[in-house]
Amino acid sequence: MQGDRTRVMVVEDEKITALELQDRLTSSGYHVSAMVSTGEEALEQAQANKPDLALMDIKLKGFMDGVQAAELIRARLDIPIIYLTAYADKETLQRAKITEPFGYILKPFDERELYTTIEMALYKHKMERKLKESEQWFSTTLNSISDAVIATNKDGYITFLNPIAERLTGWSRADAIGESLSKIYNVLDEKSSDHQDKESDHDIGGVVYSEFHHTKILISKNGTQRLIDDSMAPIQKSDGMINGVVLVFRDISERRKFEQELIKTQKLESLGVLAGGIAHDFNNVLTAIIGNISIAKLNLDANDDTYKLLMEVENASKRAKSLTRQLLTFSKGGEPVRKLVSIKDALRNAASFALKGSSIQGEFSFAPDLMAIEADEAQLTQAIYNIINNARQAKPKDSRVLIRAENVKVGLEQKLAIKPGPYIKVTIIDQGSGIRPEHLTKIFDPYFTTRQNASGLGLAISYSIVKKHDGNVLVESVPDKGTKVTIYIPASEEKVAPKRERDYHFPARHGNILVMDDEPLIRNLVKRMLNIMGHSVETANHGQQAIELYSTAMNNGNPYDVVILDLTVQGGMGGQETIERLRKLNPDVKAIVSSGYSNDPIMANFADYGFSGVVAKPYETHELNRVINDVMK
């Protein structure tokens, strides 16, 4: 069938020779797709019919000879050409060679020679096409992969460079081809800072390679240094001799940063678990200390020396309480435990603590009608402390840190990334060393610091706390002139009740109260406190026991007015599961949640979990009394 036969185009201006070729080709099983006599016709037919091969006479009539026609057909259509010639001058043959013909047939020719030359040309063209396709596939693959690839010859001179290798080395392909590998691939061993790997035993172009690979430092053409991983393999000939190398490498700078950040995160998580556990246990101990001190003070006159000593112990215990709050900043927790407070106290306390022991003074300016805020006072104090401490580290020239607070109304047009409404605007200004522009966008990033032996967590914690309070922090700074930090915290229309002397005279209303805590020290203390208040008290070690006591009391017609549940019970049912079970027994149960782990989300949003009140350990008698009275109203 014609469709299965090789299609040959004959380009011959001698009519008899052309017919002879047609006859011999047909008898050999080929199909003559076209017979033309000029170069122009040959190009036209080649484009129209796309034959498998062309037999081209070198000498043709017209403006285009066989060499010119062959050159165009080869370039445009990749059709193999076999030249036919009886004679040709040296110059013409030289031109013919440039067109890379697949064979020559000298006139006169016989059928066997014609067949052999055609078959060899077709085979050679087929192999050449496969090789080109393979090279194209290989080149496309190497140019599109995300790794950098460099190939060399046996003498170490570069023969190939893909785009990623161009970008990482800083050398263009045009400039790198033919250069020595050591010039383009300039690396140091990460550990030894040496140019050579001492475990290596091969050298190509001045670059030593082996099967032992280390992370290296690549120095690009412009001096930029990058961490890279590389692997290098020899290109071997059939006799085992090395004919060059292929080098594959990748930039691992970001991966290394990620790995380092992951290590820091894991350390911080470990610290968080440890801090949470320590704070929980420590707060239980502090509850016993502070609680018993508050009971002891009830029996003493305020002017008594013993009373004064107890006050000093109480104040020291409260400082320890503040330390546990700072520990809990590192641990995973929920929303702030908010209450209505004046921000003045947080600002004064934070400044006093941050500037203590230095020659720097805090200068305060508060609006006379400063509104209140709903905030976790301990957390907010910690956030402000970190910012003022940074101002102290900047060493202000005038030995002052200005701290201002005022009421402001925020609108959408101000673009402060906070909801419109009333806010307290806190401004903290120092005239210290300032912050460089390239660092300004990073100061709230975890672990970012420009000081040695600093964790880089202080401002990140401050930012997190303010954001959790639905506020924002803005920073302006000029190097060598100083820094201004502006904090926005939502203001409340409510008024903070004026501070009163603690009233240790308890109301006449008494209740029946159940206390569940796994610490005997806490159970005994809380029972003693409640008894002093005039309440009847029963205690339980864990949730299951509390449920049984609650059920029995209901069945006996003497239900509990209030249940106080510890959130965390080691090896037993804690407060969260217990309240769920109690609400099934009595949907109107009044329960107070208590924990030394004050950052737990249940402590911040106790009502969402079915509790009526919250008291964070450690607490004093008057604090417990206040919460119980609020719940029993």
pLDDT digits 0-9 by tens, 290-334: 878 888 887 788 888 888 888 888 877 777 766 666 556 555 554
- Which pair of structure tokens corresponds to residue 42? 């040959």
Asked if the model's pLDDT at residue 584 lies above 90, the reply is yes
CA atoms of 148 and 169, how far apart (whole Å): 9
Q: What angle do CA 35, 42, 133 make, to 5 degrees?
A: 110
Phi–psi pair at 239, nearest 5 degrees: -90, 5
* Average pLDDT, rounded, for the chain: 82
At residue 628, the 3 state secondary structure works out as: helix
**Residues near 458 by Cβ (< 8 Å), separated by ≥ 6?**
386, 389, 390
Could you tell me the pLDDT band of residue 505, with boundaries at 50, 70 and 90?
low
Could you tell me the pLDDT band of residue 138, with boundaries at 50, 70 and 90?
confident
- The predicted structure's pLDDT at residue 554: 92
Assess contact for 406 and 345: CB atoms under 8 A. no
- Which pair of structure tokens corresponds to residue 390? 């940074």
CA atoms of 309 and 578, how far apart (whole Å): 40
Q: What is the pTM of this model?
A: 0.47
- The predicted structure's pLDDT at residue 199: 38
Could you tell me the pLDDT band of residue 486, with boundaries at 50, 70 and 90?
very high
Judge if the upstream peptide bond of residue 108 is cis by omega within 30 degrees of 0: yes
Phi–psi pair at 69, nearest 5 degrees: -65, -45
Q: How large is the average pLDDT for residues 170-174?
A: 91
- Which pair of structure tokens corresponds to residue 255? 């991966």
User: Is the alpha carbon torsion for 237, 240, 244, 249 positive or negative?
Assistant: positive
